[in-house]
Structure 1
Amino acid sequence: MSSTTKKPLYKDLTFQVLAAMLLGIAFGFIAPEVAASFKILGDIFLKLIKTAVAPLVFFTVVHGIASAGDIKRVGKVGWRALVYFEVLSTAALALGLLWGNLIGIGSGMHGAHASSAASAAASAAVAKGHAPTSTMDFIYNIFPDNFVGAFAGGQLLQVLVIAVLFGFALLALKHERRQVIEDGLNRVSECFFEFINLIMKFAPLGAFGSVAYAVGSNGSAVLMSLANLVLMFYVAIAFFLFVILGTVCRLSGFSFWRFLKYIKDEIFIVLGTASSESALPRLLQKLERLGCSKQSVGLVLPTGYAFNLDGTSIYMSMCVLFIANAYGVPLGWEQQLGILAIMLVTSKGAAAVSGGSFVVFAATVTAIGVLPIEGLALLFGVYRFMSMAMAACNTIGNSVATVVVAKWSGEFTEQTAREEYARVLGRPAGAAL
């Protein structure tokens, strides 16, 4: 047995986060007004995490490209990853539309009105401020006009573009010069990981504050009024994870259940903070220890956080149908397929931070032009509870994608994975993956 399994339960991060979430739920119901003010704990934790995410993405992508040694090796991993992302994202969007149509999501709420005029106005303002005008504008905005501005604004897509170009520029240097720069970037990256490890000690506080605020500010009345949407969304997420991703894992030669056990700490952190970014730094290290090559982890995982948001895709497609049905707006299959095409583009711009998916969804509703903006306020009350499952699905989906693409590309060492499972899960070193 490893020393990790022998430490007291109260020192385990998973236990701490889970306990903090349960305390936050109880506190939210007992003292809702006071609990709502604890939102600041979750906000501070996410802000601290966000300070390191963009630099970490930059360093890992650059190092992933540089460690590949040649452009052909980068391309081998890169094109497989992009094909995988597009197929899985489309499957997630289609699942949301099919499930929403099958159960008639929101159809029992004809003539719904926004619960708060202020919320509706705020949602409309958010949508207007972030509405994509066209696919070409979206593509244009991926490319930064300022190196530092992309990092300062937390623009993950722009940071990825900079990192890819910088990585290829590094490959163009002679080996001796490149080695010096790589060593420097490696040392700075290690420092950022230690910075993140220090911040993660505050994860239970962040989870407590976030959950207490969600329960305290919404109350049971709002939760009950939209309970069907939340429940059906969780069913769709579960189906995607255990049926679709489970099948992908089986076809790729490893167990989805064992993999979930391996990354359970990160999943609970994401559930507590409702942000998939909160687990990114730890996953970058963990997946490399599992046997994925440094270049595959550095390329696939950060890129997936921009291009492979499966939970966000399911959320967007189901909620579009919910608003349409709640307000009695008929959407034919042709319109739904057109909306799916729009969401294939807009979902790629969804920020991985908490709340980013709602911003993108609001922008998508505006871009569609046939749905009432007031419907956004109807959904905002339960967004927090849906975002927990959404962020967890995004995180699991990208973690699975990294292993699958690494295996497809010959960048995965199975013996290393068996030894890591033996160390962390207590399994025999020769057991199947």
Structure 2
Amino acid sequence: MSTTVTTPAGLHPPPSSAARPRPSIWKNLGFQIIVAMVLGAAVGFLFPSFAAQLKILGDIFLRLIKTAVAPLVFLCVVVGVTSAGDFKRVGKVGLIAMLYFEIVSTLALAAGLLAGNLLGVGQGMAETTKATLAHGKAPTGAGAPHSTLDFILNVFPDNFIGAFARGELLQVLVIALIFGAALLHLPPEKRQPIERGLNTISDAFFEFIHLIMWCAPLGTFGAVAFAVGSSGTSVLLSLIYLVLSFYAVVIAFIVVVLGAISALFKINLFRFLAFIKEEIFIVLGTASSESVLPRLLEKLPTYGCSRQSVGLVLPTGYAFNLDGTSIYMSMGVIFLANAYHVPLDLGQQLGILAVMLLTSKGAATVSGGSFVVFAATVAATGVLPLEGLPILFGVYRFMSIAIATTNVIGNSVATVVTAKLAGEFDPRMAEEAMARLRAERAVSP
């Protein structure tokens, strides 16, 4: 077996640390994101009316990112399928990934239910909820549950271009898998020019993303300023226990559950988090996991995962492995039950967990993300009050930061674990990536 390591499309071998000039901390994207978050929070508290208008900055940044997400997913999956050489290899990676996703998603939902019960989120807040409901309205999407059959049907596209235009990632995945399979059925002399063309287009899209990322600090500033300025301190004070509890649970989930999984597969979780720290900072600022999908598709192959495993597992995980969303949904259910004194016995909670195993998979396919899917789940249960949704909507922006960050970390770990299980991982490249990271730290001021 050849030991030659190829460089992923769009990447070039980094220069040695000896030849690399001393970087300036002001040019570090992660540092710029942190500064933008601090400034955004300050503007939000000091000038809330003005800060509410800065939402457009975050929206522009996210719109630019989303323009490249669907095409990049298509290109990475198709190239991954054709690089595998045969569909059996693709099937092996996909089967391992789906089993992993279901196990970890179940653990995340169970962790949220357990934490919600133990911490008593929502208890003693009846007066606060009544006051909020007097002036609130349920957000769009509440009370419009998506059935299992609707979800399955929505996976399959009815228009090739429409799936890209609507940003339906699951539909794009289906198109990419079928298109990749079709390429494998072509004779090599016909397939190779198409593969070279797809790799070239993929390189161009990655450069497109690099240019957009120059706007990341500005987008982060606007998004954070809007979140702080529009929500106000009264909402934060009334629901601060829920928000802090949720953050504590997701941190515990990352450290304990994902840490245990990483240790089982001989991955140093904290080193790995340092490797993707810039992506984590971006998600913390934008509260959107989509904002770093293109960067992770480019970066994880340098950690030792094969391009085909990254191209298949990571986009699929964005639809099927939403750990942060799962914890949010299960804790939200317990919050509503406690706040409105709706008793839920163990059997009912397990039944709701089964429903959430299906509905949580729709967060990437429903406009509005995790909150709208949660609203649909509440409606589907038939026992929880829809009137409580505006309360959670008031602090959703603050919780969505942790939701998106947990989703990104969970899917990044899932990609490495799946690559290892499928024999698609090069430990030497991982060591080289960490060596480069240590060298960069050594020369940083």
Shared fold per TM-score greater than 0.5? yes
Matched, 1:27 2:27: no
SS at match of 2:267: coil
Cα distance change, pair 222–4 in 1 and its aligned pair in 2 (3 A):
farther
Equivalent positions of 1:59-208 (< 5 A) are: 59-110=75-126, 112-113=129-130, 115=132, 119-121=136-138, 123=139, 125-129=140-144, 131-132=145-146, 134-208=147-221
393-402 vs 166-175, which deviates more? Answer: 166-175
What residue identity is the alignment partner of 1:342? V
Contact 1:89-1:308 within 8 A present in 2 as well: yes
CA pair 353-254 structure 1, distance change in 2 beyond 3 A: farther
For structure 1, list consecutive stretches of 5 or more residues without a partner in the other structure: 429-433
Matches for 1:306-321 after TM superposition, within 5 Å: 306-321=319-334
What are the residue-to-residue correspondences of 1:334-413 with 2, within 5 Å?
334-351=347-364, 355-413=368-426
Flag structure 2 segments of 5+ consecutive residues without an equivalent: 1-16
Counterparts of 1:109 and 1:209, CA distance in 2: 32
Q: Deviation of residue 4 (structure 1)?
A: 6.8
Task: Report what 1:282 is aligned to.
Answer: 295
Out of 315, 318, 322, the residue aligned to residue 305 of structure 1 is 318
Deviation at 1:380, TM superposition (A): 0.9
- Deviation for aligned residue 1:128: 3.6
Q: Separation in 1 of the partners of 2:209 and 2:58?
A: 16
Deviation at 1:329, TM superposition (A): 1.2
Aligned to 2:5: none
Report the alpha carbon displacement of residue 114 of structure 1 after superposing the two structures with TM: 6.1
- 1:228–1:374 Cα change, 3 Å: same
Alignment check: 8 A CA contact 1:2 1:424 kept:
no
What is the Cα-based RMSD across aligned positions, in Å? 1.7
1:232 aligns with 2:232: no
Distance 1:3 1:257 in 2: 28
The change in CA–CA distance for 1:290 and 1:354 in structure 2 (over 3 A counts) is farther
Measured after TM superposition, the shift of residue 352 of structure 1 is 8.4
Provide the rounded CA distance (Å) in 2 between the counterparts of 1:88 and 1:309. 9
Measured after TM superposition, the shift of residue 110 of structure 1 is 2.9
CA distance in 2, matches of 1:208, 1:351: 25
Q: Which amino acid aligns with 1:324?
A: A
Deviations 1:161-188 (A, max 9, x none): 1111111111111122111111111111
Q: Matches of 1:110 and 1:337 in 2, distance apart? A: 25
Query: Is the contact between residue 122 and residue 335 of structure 2 (CA under 8 Å) also seen in structure 1?
Result: yes
SS of corresponding position for 1:145: coil
**Residue of structure 1 in register with 2:223 after alignment:** 210
Quick one: percent identity of the two aligned structures? 64
Give deviations 1:354-386, integer Å, cap 9, x for gaps. Answer: 941111111111111221112110011111110
Q: Compared with structure 1, are the counterparts of its residues 205 and 365 closer, same or farther at alpha carbon in structure 2 (3 Å cutoff)?
A: same
Contact 1:270–1:388 (CA under 8 A) maintained in structure 2? yes
Q: Is the 8 A contact 2:250 2:402 kept in 1?
A: yes
- Choose the corresponding residue for 2:56, options 24, 34, 40: 40
Q: Which residue of 2 aligns with 1:51?
A: 67
- Once residues 177 and 328 of structure 1 are traced to their aligned partners in structure 2, the CA distance between those partners, rounded to angstroms, is 65
How big is each residue's C-alpha offset from its partner over 1:282-326, in whole Å with a ceiling of 9 and x where there is no partner? 111110011110110111111100100000000000001101111
Taking structure 1 as reference, are residues 4 and 150 closer, same or farther at Cα in structure 2, changes over 3 Å only? farther
* 1:85-123 CA-partner distances (Å, limit 9, x unpaired): 0000000000000110111110111352262556424x1
Which one-letter code corresponds to 1:211 in the other structure? V
Bigger Cα displacement from structure 2, 177-186 vs 237-246: 177-186
Which residue identity lines up with residue 65 of structure 1 in the other structure? V
Counterpart of 2:30 in structure 1 is 14
TM normalised by structure 1 equals 0.95
Q: Distance in 2 between matches of 1:172 and 1:53?
A: 27
Alpha-carbon shift at residue 6 of structure 1 (Å): 2.6
Q: For the Cα contact (< 8 Å) 1:277–1:353, is it kept in 2? A: no
Which residue type is aligned with residue 190 of structure 2? R
On the 8 A contact 2:301/2:307 being kept in 1, the answer is: yes
- What is the Cα deviation at residue 334 of structure 1? 1.1
| Secondary structure in structure 2 of the residue aligned to 1:254 | coil
TM-score (norm 2): 0.92
Matched residues, number:
424
In the TM superposition, residue 137 of structure 1 has moved relative to its aligned partner by 2.0
CA apart distance, 1:426: 2.5
- Cα distance in 2 for partners of 1:379, 1:348 equals 20
Q: How far, CA to CA, are the matches of 1:4 and 1:210 in structure 2?
A: 34
1:431 matched to which residue of 2? none
Q: For the residues of structure 1 that align with 2:365 and 2:405, how far apart are their CA atoms?
A: 11
SS at match of 1:113: helix
Residue 60 of structure 1: SS of its match in structure 2? helix
> How big is the shift at 1:424?
2.1
1:138 CA drift (Å): 1.4
